A and B are shown apart, each in its own frame.
Chain A
Amino acid sequence: MEIKVLGPGCPKCKHAEKVVREAVEESAADAHVEKVSDMLEIAKYGIFGTPAVVIDGEVRCVGKVPKKEEVLNWIKQ
């Protein structure tokens, strides 16, 4: 599984990355987490706000820090 956290590096984005990493660790899923801070890369996803979480190419959340339970849910799906 390929998880990307999109965000230029504001405090919220870092928080989102932390939450996602914690969730991945907790679920023990075989997932690779990557933080994307390049604007051009981020813009390619056509999102409106950061932080955003993309799992296997699908945008799951935009403009807010997800809750750990939410991330766990996405990983399970």
Chain B
Amino acid sequence: MKRIDNGSCACVAVDRKRRSGSTRAMLVYSSLGALALYVWWFTYGKLGLFSSFVTYSLLQIEQETHLASALEFFFYDTPKVMMLLVLVIFGVGVVRSFFTPEKTRDILSGKTEFVGNVLAAFLGIVTPFCSCSAVPLFIGFVTAGVPLGVTFSFLISAPMVNEIALGLLYGLLGWEVAALYMGTGLTIAIISGWVIGRLHMEQHIEDWVGGLNGGAGQVQEEELTWHDRIVYGWDAVKEIVGRVWIYVMLGIAVGAAIHGYVPESFMASVMGKEVWWSVPLAVVMGVPMYSNAAGIIPVVEALLGKGAALGTVLAFMMSVIALSLPEMVILRKVLKPPLIGAFICVVGCGILLVGYLFNVVV
């Protein structure tokens, strides 16, 4: 590709050049992208062969043993999950480069309650968000006039319905489960936010928040080119995969152990449909566990294979991801205990309902 001269004295010329360069760049990127996608897809289809090769030919493990079953699971799932993660995070990263928290706030401020809740839940999927930014984001939304309930819809949906969870569920458990998760996750975010809004708990926001002036000190929006967006997507891949790979490996290792050593249908007695207390137990157990979707989904896959009920497993997963202790600690800086309590209760009840619903329906 031709280098674009970035000299400061020829702004107009540079601008024109950049525009024609951007069409060409897009062509180059899409053909490269298609090629990369083909290679990805081809490799992805060969992972089964790879795992049996490693397990039986390379490591010489005897067939039909617990160890073989566990190792095959591990060597199949690890590359599979990693490949899926790279693809999904990159794709969503590029989409996310079109959204910023500022834009999301502008869309949400001044919306009526229910419409705002729905919008907030959906925007939660595509707005770049990390839980350590929860506090400044909360303040930014609330001081800009986004209703409290709508803000909560966003704060619930953003960590729960994310690209990592959806990509992994799709890859490991099929599109039906991914769609179920997305649908119920969004519903919980919308309804919980709406309920919290109805409770009118504005006085339980820490007092100092009210004195702040929202929207000050904004940075100028920079115009992104396709090159920038691809770099953005790739940076997201490096950043997220670099952060979660250890959870993924641990999750798959636990999953592999369950897969290889736990007897068939053992989980049915603990996490099966007939056990009414399994759903609340799953939710309560999920809160102190701090993992992300990447680490928990391989475990979930293995549990399902051993007879655990889908509703119970979904409830467990949502609780681990959406209700995390560290996030509560962070949010405590801006929320007084009653509001945090309401948040946990409302979201917890939503997750319980989802768990029971799926145990009855599926």
Contacts and interface: CB of A to CB of B under 8 A. Distances in A.
Nearest to A60: B219
Interface in B195-246: 208-209, 212-219, 243
Chain A interface mostly: mixed
A44 B212 contact: yes
Nearest to A9: B132
- Chain A interface bracket (under 10, 10 to 19, 20 to 34, 35 or more): 20 to 34
B301 to A, nearest CB: 28
Contacts of A39: 135-136, 333-334
A43 to B, nearest CB: 5
B102 interface: yes
Interface residues of B, number: 29
B130 interface: yes
A12 interface: yes
B298 interface: no
Contacts, number: 69
Contacts of B102: 48
A64 B96 CA distance: 13
A16 B243 CA distance: 16
A6 B216 CA distance: 15
A46 B135 contact: no
A49 B208 CA distance: 18
Interface string A44-66: 11111110001000111111000
A60 B215 CA distance: 14
B101 interface: yes
A49 B133 contact: yes
Contacts of B217: 45-47, 54, 58-59
13 contacts: A10-B130, A11-B243, A42-B135, A43-B139, A43-B209, A43-B212, A46-B140, A46-B215, A48-B101, A48-B133, A48-B140, A50-B136, A63-B128
B208 A47 contact: no
Nearest to B213: A46
Interface string B311-345: 00000000000000000001001100000000000
